[in-house]
Structure 1
Amino acid sequence: MSTPPAFPDPQRAWAYRPPQPLRGAATGPLAGLTFSVKDLFAVEGWPLRASTRAPLPLMVPSPLVLRLLDLGGTAVGKTHLHEIAMGILGANAYGGTRHPALPDHAAGGSSSGAAVSAALRQVDFALGTDTGGSIRVPAAWCGVYGYKPTKNHPAWPTTGVLPLSPTCDHAGPLAADFGTILRVQEALTGAAITPQDWSGLKVGIWQPADWLDPQAQAAVQGMARRLEEAGAALHSISLPDMLDAYSVIVGHEAAQVHADALALADPGFSPDVLTKLRAAQELTPSQVQAAYTRREEYRTQLAKLFGQVDLLLAPVVPTSPPLIGQEEVQLGRETANLRPAVLRLNVPFSMLGVPAVALPSGVDWVGVQLIAPWGQDPWLLGLVRALLGGD
């Protein structure tokens, strides 16, 4: 049994609170900051459950958590997630996580508890993961900032993190204050993030109108105006629906990660998660190989696009936070299943590994994202810093 949190937790954000936090070094660039840990990260002496009742593979302790402790951060506990990170709403075997301000609404996922702990300022920052939007979606719906680094960023290792899809998984932070994300990034990399000039930048605006409700459209349009006022030149762009490759890759890899549990008569997963994993086990080798081939084609398309524009502005979510249990959303004349409606806005940037920052848009509970080319994390973070008025 986990230790009850020291504060009320009606949102069910917290998976485990130890009797005493793991205190960071007394001195260091993160001294005085507290953080939560998504319950995919292995932390020595703490349970790892991934918000499921299924048995899990053994994991080595996360070097990222250890590094943050060495830098002075204090880890106060683990947060709930959408079960094994296989979803975007925050549902799990322990009742699911609710929105920090809208009690009947979902927080988003899979880093649901991370976003809630940041939004309620229970911690200064939260560790999350992002495979198909799992940092950016709850950040957008909970009104906080989320940073998904370039894939395989040396400062944000996924070693010691229970995988969902090694091809698509990223580790990254969420925080109510963007300055805290900058402070963490600077501490991990040892390099300052300097404000960057927006003047003359070519920004590709991805606004697939048929995939967004009026609030989500207003969020993108409002941010586009801010970028234009900052000096950027705006260009409309388009991207294909990449779920054909993503869904196969993630399902295939997740089924491999959880193969031992799936071999049991009763694996212990919730019905929805088990159905997805069983379906993935039925994929043929040719279907899997075709998905990886398609991913490379999408990567080529995105690289070509970044040859035409410097930066992308895109939606994160198609609508405001859904009700708990809601499965469909009205987008124009289309009634869409909520999961693919959210995923298709985010998977291009996680499946292909480019850095992205989710940030509030000015429309309540509907964030947007800025995306840069591979490896341009310092520049992207510096642009956001300048946009928010950082000196």
Structure 2
Amino acid sequence: MKTDPHGAWAYRPDAPLRGAAHGPLAGLTFSAKDLYGVPGWPLQGSSRAVLPEVADSPLVARLLGLGATLVGKTHLHEVALGITGANAFGGTRNPMDPTRVAGGSSGGAAVSVATGEVDFALGTDTGGSIRVPAAWCGVVGFKPTKGSAAWPTEGVLPLSDTCDHTGPLARDVRAVVRVHTALSGEAVAPREWDGVRVGVWDIPGWVTPEVWAVVEAEAARLTALGARVTRVPFPEVMDAYTPIVLSEAAVVHARALASEAPGFIPATEANLRAGAALSPADVAAARARREAYRARLEAVFGEVDVLLGPAVPDVAPRFGQEEVTVAEGMLPVRRAVLRVTSPWSLLGAPTLCLPRPLGGLSVGVQFVAPWGQDAALLGWGLGLEGPR
């Protein structure tokens, strides 16, 4: 009998879907978050609600054709609307400390990689859903440029068409690069940091002092490698992110919300109903703010080649923990996390999360590159990882 001590797996068939025998990914195994349409497999989104129909995922089909073998589907924060991993099936436990959450929404994906059950995992990222569990579970997470042809979102249960991304998690950057190269055809080579203009996202008040020390250590390492490190501001984007995501999610799940008993856990239903209550004017104003933030990010990338910042505000919270204390005070966990990760999903810029240890647990740093610079970003990640 297959064991699942961390609550990571939503579906594991008796036999995996075997990849092509002679492809560039032959010999690798992967999991898919239970938002991906897989022929003959159930799709529940870690929910007991009635979900919209989802077509088969072309990304899953492409990976199978490239030789990778799909072993199962992983649990997530219910319908991907959250960052702790809470769902109708008890949530997913952190492999470093089972009293703590794995993170979300791609928590099961991160655990399947961290425990060595697969070589890589397919996640989704609408506001941090690849990067947050990657950081908390000690693995690498990559969110490609929004709209990347190599990483289609078709055949995936949507949350927010504006912000949804697909992407991989793996134990190291090399594995991410191997998958990305097979899908995209982009050659990715290690890149030197000498002369690279690095902007440190200057938000020490948004994280704990211990997490900020991790960011400072990363900046010092890059300086030692020859990077030109400066500090750059960039604002919180939740006033644009939240109305856009909640309003779009409410449309996705309108049929369930119209029923007497939708079947969502209370927090999910509350968020979806808040989205349904937004007026067209509210959403239009949020979209205008998004455009202003995009222009601001374009200006930042006129000054720096890559941004460095924290991936999470603190180590993984314990189950039931609703608030986190950062340098500037106490905040709800959702806001504390999402304001650190949501800008890069809202604006679609490629982002690489690298885990960093902290007190026997894990946090992470994010590197953000200009749109379309996915290969360069992964190359810089390889440069930090060094030779095997």
Could you tell me the TM-score, scaled by structure 2's length? 0.98
Task: Out of 87-96 and 219-228, give the one that drifted further.
Answer: 219-228
Aligned-pair distance for 1:263? 1.0
Q: Which of 178, 184, 188 is matched with 2:183 structurally?
A: 188
Partner of 1:385: 382
1:73 aligns with 2:68: yes
Give the 5 Å matches for 1:278-293: 278-293=273-288
1:121 aligns with 2:77: no
Partner of 2:224: 229
- Helix, strand or coil: the match of 2:231? strand
Question: What amino acid is the match of 1:197?
Answer: E
Could you tell me the TM-score, scaled by structure 1's length? 0.97
Question: What amino acid is the match of 2:269?
Answer: L
Partner of 1:374: 371
C-alpha distance after superposition, 1:142-183 (max 9, x if no partner): 100000000010000000000010100000000112211111
- In structure 2, C-alpha distance between the alignment counterparts of 1:323 and 1:351, rounded to whole Å: 27
- In structure 2, C-alpha distance between the alignment counterparts of 1:22 and 1:67, rounded to whole Å: 13
1:90 aligns with 2:90: no
Partner of 1:242: 237
Q: Which of 55, 60, 69 is matched with 1:60 structurally?
A: 55
Partner of 2:347: 352
> Do the aligned residues in 2 keep the contact of 1:140 with 1:317 (CA within 8 Å)?
yes
Taking every aligned residue pair, what percent have the same amino acid on both sides? Answer: 57
C-alpha distance after superposition, 1:100-133 (max 9, x if no partner): 1201001110000000000011000000000000
- In structure 1, C-alpha distance between the alignment counterparts of 2:54 and 2:94, rounded to whole Å: 30
Q: Which of 307, 313, 326 is matched with 1:331 structurally?
A: 326
- In structure 2, C-alpha distance between the alignment counterparts of 1:80 and 1:116, rounded to whole Å: 10
Structure 1 residue runs without a partner (length 5+) = none
Question: What amino acid is the match of 1:47?
Answer: P
Aligned-pair distance for 1:387? 1.4
Partner of 2:317: 322
Question: What amino acid is the match of 1:195?
Answer: P
- Helix, strand or coil: the match of 2:221? helix
- Helix, strand or coil: the match of 1:147? strand
Structure 2 residue runs without a partner (length 5+) = none
- Helix, strand or coil: the match of 1:319? coil
1:276 aligns with 2:299: no
Question: What amino acid is the match of 2:242?
Answer: S
> Do the aligned residues in 2 keep the contact of 1:207 with 1:220 (CA within 8 Å)?
no
Aligned residues between the structures: 386
> Do the aligned residues in 1 keep the contact of 2:173 with 2:378 (CA within 8 Å)?
no
Q: Which of 18, 21, 24 is matched with 1:26 structurally?
A: 21
Give the 5 Å matches for 1:124-139: 124-139=119-134
> Do the aligned residues in 1 keep the contact of 2:206 with 2:328 (CA within 8 Å)?
no
- Helix, strand or coil: the match of 1:222? helix
Aligned-pair distance for 1:191? 2.7
- Helix, strand or coil: the match of 1:105? strand
- In structure 2, C-alpha distance between the alignment counterparts of 1:308 and 1:332, rounded to whole Å: 28
- In structure 1, C-alpha distance between the alignment counterparts of 2:190 and 2:326, rounded to whole Å: 37
- In structure 2, C-alpha distance between the alignment counterparts of 1:79 and 1:390, rounded to whole Å: 31
Moved beyond 2 Å, runs of 4+: 361-364
> Do the aligned residues in 2 keep the contact of 1:128 with 1:174 (CA within 8 Å)?
yes
- In structure 2, C-alpha distance between the alignment counterparts of 1:386 and 1:291, rounded to whole Å: 38
Partner of 1:365: 362
Partner of 2:162: 167
Aligned-pair distance for 1:218? 1.5
Aligned-pair distance for 1:52? 0.4
